[in-house]
A and B are shown apart, each in its own frame.
Chain A
Amino acid sequence: MKNPGGAEPHHDWLGYLFAFGAAAAYGTSGVLIKRGLGIYGSPFTAITIATATGLLVLSPLAIASWRSQGQGWRPDRRALLFILASGLCAFTGFSSNTLALSLLPVTVVAPISSAYPLVTVILVLIFLRHHEVISWRTILGAALIVSGIILIALNRQ
């Protein structure tokens, strides 16, 4: 299989393993947050504790990564801006997901919050219309996501 990331093809299985690991971890986190919210109640406290835990786990890796860059290394200012904006988006996504879980069941929130590629497709259609080609598969995927979300929303009423 062709690997655009540049890794050796025989490491594909490792990529799939990590991808499924990510799905299992992300899928489990929603249920754990819901259980925690059931006991604790405050979604804002849950967001703070979960974010602080992530920061604590990530800190040693971040320090090691910073040191490996060598002395005097400074990140490119423009790249830093994009990465900061991306971090803010990720934080907003996580917070919104937690707030949604405090109001609705996991079976409703999980599929809707996983529909984020649809937002990417819409943004590509608006901003990169002349640079990227939207395939029929993408359009079909977007239609399936919208149908699925409508079905989930109708089922709640």
Chain B
Amino acid sequence: MATAPLFSVTLAVLFTGEHLTLPLFLGVLLTVSGVILIVRR
């Protein structure tokens, strides 16, 4: 579940024409990394 935004962002960029800037990409990576750190056993 923690990696769900990676799927969302990839699909949004590939199929719906949304733009992904470098700061936004870094923000996504930081958020997902944080979630993985918390939920990982």
Residues of A within 8 A of B (CB): 2, 4, 19-20, 22-24, 26-28, 30-31, 34-35, 105-108, 110-115, 117-118, 120-121, 137-138, 140-152, 154-155
Contacts and interface: CB of A to CB of B under 8 A. Distances in A.
Interface string B4-29: 11111111110110111101101111
B37 A147 contact: no
Given A19-B1, A114-B2, A141 B38 contact: yes
A24 to B, nearest CB: 5
Contacts of A117: 2, 35, 38-39
A152 B3 contact: no
Interface of B: 1-13, 15-16, 18-21, 23-24, 26-41
18 contacts: A2-B41, A4-B41, A23-B7, A26-B4, A28-B8, A30-B4, A34-B12, A106-B18, A117-B39, A121-B38, A140-B34, A142-B34, A142-B38, A145-B30, A145-B31, A145-B35, A146-B34, A151-B24
Interface of A is mostly: helix
B12 A107 contact: yes
B8 A27 contact: yes
Contacts of A105: 12, 18
Contacts of A110: 4-5, 8-9, 12, 28
Nearest to B24: A155
Contacts of B1: 19, 22-23, 26, 114
Nearest to B15: A31
